[in-house]
């Protein structure tokens, strides 16, 4: 079977450039050995920087340097006129043509479109991430040979749509995603194996309760994990997908922009190019303040040269609330795990943003422990993913991983007695995965031909602040079906946090077709369109390369409590680039019981 891959053009290519070119891959399973053809790599696909790692012949994880010789690759994409540039060169371009640069796509994952257009076209975040994956793969293949199988890490607090979107990015990059693994879990594996409190077979030599504090460039996670023998069990997890090092950068940039405004009479934040240059200077100043108590910034704006100084004390005062947000989440995850700091045997710091002294100071004050920062925080997650990828290919060390879901999973409906919205909780957050829950629904009237169920994550008892995963549509029910016919709907949460739904009618013994009409991310139609564009040579902003427009998304099928006496009309094609909108169903009765 053929698959399409993005490859670096041979000769005359700028650093970081990726080019669409057709190759073939067999897709056949390969027996495990130490030859390059059988390599499975781990990828830390980050908000600001990404890393790829592999295991050598002795089973030791190593970071694969980029073509530029760096351990990390900026997760930045520059859509030049005749090429797509990823990495350091794209970062440079952001200062001069910011409107052609896509960055921080990880924060947009799960949406249909990015937060802005590029060359007049909405580029989904999955496409941006796929281009970053292509760059990582191309660079790694120069050193290791052909690469097809990967494990990609995601924040533990990622919900189901974001996890699916990450797998879709791997698919667009022609990679076989063996699994996705939570970043704190990967970090714990890497720290454990390399620090030596695990044996060479992957078994913990002593029982450990780890708290992994992972503050990256764009996301924050904290996970409590128990290691006992070959068993790695996550006890609780929490996080914030909109909190990371870039928020510290923006806070400091605002502070300095006010000083520049006072000196020059012009605000650099009102000019996209000037703002990008300021953010680059701020990032350097942030790094300097981790080693020194004061940093100086020289910035030219509006024809004037500004010399600005900021102290570590000022920086910490500006960002106190951000640090407190991570402290609050850390306390919450310990509470969810029903533990206190006395129960924690090791505090692991992961992510480049943990280098800020204010983070270590806060954690020492909270825990009374000395944080473990013995390994490079930028590389530990990718190393753990590489170890896990090798394990999935049947190579030692063998481990038993148990993760937990980070969000409540439920069904949104209207309670018959009150007529008010109500969330039926089906799988509570921090439930060990994999898990399954079966719920019995009932048809409301005679001759009902279809049923719709609104699946949500998070939210409160009324369903407020919930994330809609999509509409589960049970269609093609048997004719002349009597009212109150039971329909068993089974929700299965896999260990990677992906959701599948099955349904059947126990009274008739017939299985019903069930489709999840997702509210976010790329559906299969859009995904195939983008795959064709990758195959044909991806170009952004060209009329002939864009998917053809189509009709709006169809209105969802009626809910379990309404009668549909005529077969539903055929669904029109979906708009390729507009986010599908799913209307809330008007359910007027609720669950009939559980099995």
Q: What is the pLDDT of residues 227-263, one digit of tens each?
A: 887 788 999 999 999 999 999 999 999 999 999 999 9
Q: Tokens for 67?
A: 């073509």
User: Which range has the top average pLDDT, 52-61, 284-293, 386-395?
Assistant: 284-293
State the SS3 of 432-462. ECCEEEEEEEECCCCCCCCEEEEEEEECCCC
b/e per residue 366-376 (b: at least 16 CB within 10 A): ebeeebebebb
CB 286 within 8 A of CB 315: yes
pLDDT at 18: 53
pLDDT at 325: 98
Give the whole-angstrom CA distance, residue 192 versus residue 210: 10
CB 413 within 8 A of CB 454: yes
The per-residue DSSP string of 61-117 comes to EEE---TTS-SSEE-EEEE-SS-EEESHHHHHHHTT-GGGEEE-GGGTBTBSS-SSE
- Domain(s) labelled CATH 3.30.420.40 in the chain stretch across 5-197+375-401
**Diameter of the chain by CA atoms?**
80
Mean model confidence pLDDT for the chain:
81
pLDDT in tens, 215-228: 999 999 999 999 88
Q: Which residues, other chains included, contact 238 with Cβ-Cβ below 8 Å and sequence gap of 6+?
A: 157, 221, 222, 329, 332, 333, 336, 406
Lowest-confidence pick of 262-271, 568-577, 579-588: 579-588
pLDDT at 588: 32
pLDDT at 512 over 70: no
pLDDT at 327 over 80: yes
Greater model confidence, 273 or 469: 273
pLDDT at 554: 33
pLDDT at 319 over 80: yes
pLDDT at 198: 59
CB 52 within 8 A of CB 384: no
pLDDT at 517: 62
Greater model confidence, 362 or 480: 362
The share of the chain scoring above pLDDT 70, in percent, equals 79
Strands (E), 324-461: 346-350, 400-402, 409-414, 421-427, 435-442, 451-458
- Domain(s) labelled CATH 2.60.34.10 in the chain stretch across 409-594
CB 6 within 8 A of CB 20: yes
CA distances from 328 to 139, 225, 366, 370 (A): 39, 18, 10, 19
Question: What's the rounded mean pLDDT across residues 519-547?
Answer: 77
Question: What's the rounded mean pLDDT across residues 478-494?
Answer: 84
State the CATH class of domain 5-197+375-401: alpha beta
Lowest-confidence pick of 376-385, 408-417, 506-515, 581-590: 581-590
Where does the pLDDT of residue 205 fall: very low under 50, low under 70, confident under 90, or very high at 90 and above? Answer: low
pLDDT at 98 over 60: yes
pLDDT at 91 over 90: yes
pLDDT at 176: 96
Give the whole-angstrom CA distance, residue 49 versus residue 43: 11
CA distances from 156 to 237, 300, 328 (A): 7, 41, 17
CA atoms within 13 A on the CB side of 560: 27
Note if the bond before 549 is cis, omega within 30 degrees.
no
Note if the bond before 94 is cis, omega within 30 degrees.
no
Question: What's the rounded mean pLDDT across residues 46-70?
Answer: 94
CA distances from 305 to 233, 274, 286, 413 (A): 55, 13, 21, 60
State the SS3 of 19-58. EEECCCCCCCCCCCCCCHHHCEEEEECCCCEEEEEEECCC
Lowest-confidence pick of 18-27, 103-112, 505-514: 18-27
* CA neighbor of 383 nearest in space, from 138, 68, 34, 56: 56
Question: What's the rounded mean pLDDT across residues 504-512?
Answer: 73
- Report the DSSP beta bridge partners of residue 413: 422
pLDDT at 38: 60
145 by DSSP, 3-state: which? coil
Beta strands across the sheet bearing 499-505: 510-511, 499-505, 486-493, 435-442, 593-594
Where do we find the tokens 């549509």?
Answer: 473
Q: Tokens for 580?
A: 């599908």
pLDDT at 525: 87
pLDDT at 36 over 80: no
Give the whole-angstrom CA distance, residue 289 versus residue 359: 13
pLDDT at 576: 33
Question: What's the rounded mean pLDDT across residues 330-341?
Answer: 97
* CA neighbor of 468 nearest in space, from 532, 540, 345, 556: 556
Q: CATH topology for 409-594? A: Substrate Binding Domain Of DNAk; Chain A, domain 1 (2.60.34)
pLDDT at 563: 33
pLDDT at 201: 58
In 467-554, alpha helices (H): 524-536
pLDDT at 388: 92
pLDDT in tens, 277-312: 999 999 999 999 999 999 999 999 999 999 999 999
Angle at the Cα of 507 from the Cα atoms of 506 and 511, rounded to 5 degrees: 50
pLDDT at 475: 76
CB atoms within 10 A of CB 418: 9
CA 468 to chain centre: 17
Task: Tell how strand 593-594 and strand 435-442 pair up.
Answer: antiparallel
- What phi and psi values does residue 54 have, to the nearest 5 degrees? -145, 170
CA 143 to chain centre: 27
CB 148 within 8 A of CB 38: no
Where does the pLDDT of residue 396 fall: very low under 50, low under 70, confident under 90, or very high at 90 and above? Answer: low
Where does the pLDDT of residue 399 fall: very low under 50, low under 70, confident under 90, or very high at 90 and above? Answer: confident
Give the whole-angstrom CA distance, residue 44 versus residue 48: 11
Q: Tokens for 140?
A: 């790694």
pLDDT in tens, 443-473: 777 888 877 778 888 888 888 888 888 887 7
pLDDT at 317: 98
pLDDT at 363: 98
- Report the DSSP beta bridge partners of residue 43: 52, 152
pLDDT at 524: 82
Q: Is 351 left (phi over 0), alpha (psi -120 to 50) or beta?
A: left
Question: What's the rounded mean pLDDT across residues 157-173?
Answer: 92
pLDDT at 17: 58
Give the whole-angstrom CA distance, residue 3 versus residue 1: 7
């Amino acid at each position: 079977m053929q698959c399409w891959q993005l490859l670096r053009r041979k000769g005359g290519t700028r650093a970081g450039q990726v080019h669409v070119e057709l190759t073939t891959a067999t897709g056949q399973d390969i027996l495990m050995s130490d030859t390059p053809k059988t390599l499975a790599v781990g990828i830390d696909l980050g908000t600001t920087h990404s890393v790829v790692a592999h295991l050598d012949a002795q089973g030791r994880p190593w970071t694969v340097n980029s073509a530029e010789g760096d351990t990390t690759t900026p997760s930045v994409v520059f859509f030049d006129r005749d090429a797509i540039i990823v990495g350091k060169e794209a970062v440079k371009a952001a200062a001069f043509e910011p409107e052609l640069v896509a960055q921080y796509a990880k924060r947009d994952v799960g949406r249909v479109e990015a937060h802005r257009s590029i060359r007049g076209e909405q580029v989904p975040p999955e496409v941006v991430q796929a281009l970053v994956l292509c760059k990582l793969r191309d660079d790694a293949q120069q050193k290791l040979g052909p690469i097809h199988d990967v494990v990609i890490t995601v924040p533990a607090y990622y919900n189901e749509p974001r996890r699916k979107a990450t797998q879709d990015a791997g698919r667009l990059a022609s990679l076989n995603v063996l699994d996705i693994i939570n970043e704190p879990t990967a970090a714990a594996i890497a720290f454990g194996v390399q620090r030596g409190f695990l044996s060479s077979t992957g078994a913990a030599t002593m029982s450990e309760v780890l708290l992994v504090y992972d503050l990256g460039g764009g996301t924050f996670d904290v996970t409590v994990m128990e290691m006992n023998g070959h068993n790695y069990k996550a006890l609780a997890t929490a996080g914030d997908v909109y909190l990371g090092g870039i928020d510290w950068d923006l806070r400091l940039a605002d502070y300095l922009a006010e000083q520049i405004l006072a000196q020059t009479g012009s605000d650099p934040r009102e000019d996209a190019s000037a703002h990008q240059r300021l953010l680059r200077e701020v990032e350097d100043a942030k790094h300097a303040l981790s080693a020194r108590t004061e940093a100086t910034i020289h910035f030219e704006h509006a024809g004037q040269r500004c010399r600005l100084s900021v102290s570590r004390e000022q920086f910490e005062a500006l960002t106190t609330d951000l640090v407190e947000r991570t402290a609050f989440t850390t306390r919450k995850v310990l509470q969810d795990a029903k533990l206190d700091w006395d129960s924690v045997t090791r505090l692991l710091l992961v992510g480049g943003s943990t280098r800020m002294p204010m983070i270590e100071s806060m954690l020492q004050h909270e825990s009374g422990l000395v944080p473990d920062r013995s390994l490079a925080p930028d590389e530990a997650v990718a190393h753990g993913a590489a170890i896990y990828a090798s394990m999935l290919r049947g190579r030692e060390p063998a481990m038993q991983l148990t993760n937990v879901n980070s969000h409540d999973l439920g069904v949104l409906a209207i309670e018959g007695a009150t007529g008010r919205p109500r969330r039926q909780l089906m799988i509570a957050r921090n439930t060990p995965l994999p898990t399954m829950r079966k719920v019995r629904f009932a048809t409301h009237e005679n001759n009902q031909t279809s049923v719709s169920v609104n699946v949500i994550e998070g939210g409160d008892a009324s369903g407020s602040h919930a994330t809609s995963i999509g509409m589960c549509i049970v269609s093609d029910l048997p004719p002349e079906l009597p009212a109150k016919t039971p329909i068993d709907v089974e929700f299965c949460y896999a260990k990677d946090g992906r959701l599948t739904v099955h349904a059947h009618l126990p009274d008739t013994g017939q299985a019903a077709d069930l489709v999840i009409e997702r509210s976010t991310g790329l559906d299969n139609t859009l995904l195939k369109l983008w795959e064709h564009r990758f195959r044909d040579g991806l170009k952004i902003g060209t009329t002939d390369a864009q998917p053809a427009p189509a009709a709006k998304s169809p209105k969802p099928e009626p809910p379990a409590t309404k009668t549909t006496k005529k077969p539903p009309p055929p669904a029109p094609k979906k708009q390729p680039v507009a986010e599908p909108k799913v209307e809330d169903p008007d359910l007027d009765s609720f669950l009939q019981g559980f099995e």
